[in-house]
Amino acid sequence: MELVDPERKLFLAVSRGVYNGLFSQRAIQVIAQRYKLPILVVDVESEEIVVWTKSPTTEI
C-alpha cells in the first residue's frame, strides 16, 4: 500500500473477541505500538465500531 498509494492510511479491523485475545499478548501490543497501527474494534453482531485506537493496550 505504501508503494502504490502512500497518502492512503491503512487500518486493521478486528472483532472484539480477537482484540481481547490476541492483543492481550505483550508482543502484539509492542508490534502495534512500534508501527503505529491504527485498529478498529468491531462488534460483529451490531456491525458497529466500538473502539478506534492507534495503540492497543487495554482490554475492552
45 lies in which domain range?
A: 12-53
The answer to whether residue 18 sits within a structural domain is yes
From first to last of its 60 residues, what are the pLDDT tens digits of the chain?
778 998 888 889 999 999 999 988 999 989 888 888 889 999 999 999 999 986 545 454
Q: Which residues contact 38 (CB under 8 A, 6 or more apart)?
A: 9, 10, 11, 12, 52, 53, 54
The answer to whether residue 3 sits within a structural domain is no
The answer to whether residue 60 sits within a structural domain is no
User: Which residue shows C-alpha cell 473502539?
Assistant: 51
Q: Which residues contact 40 (CB under 8 A, 6 or more apart)?
A: 11, 12, 13, 14, 49, 51, 52
Domain count, the chain: 1
* Cα 21 off chain centre by: 12
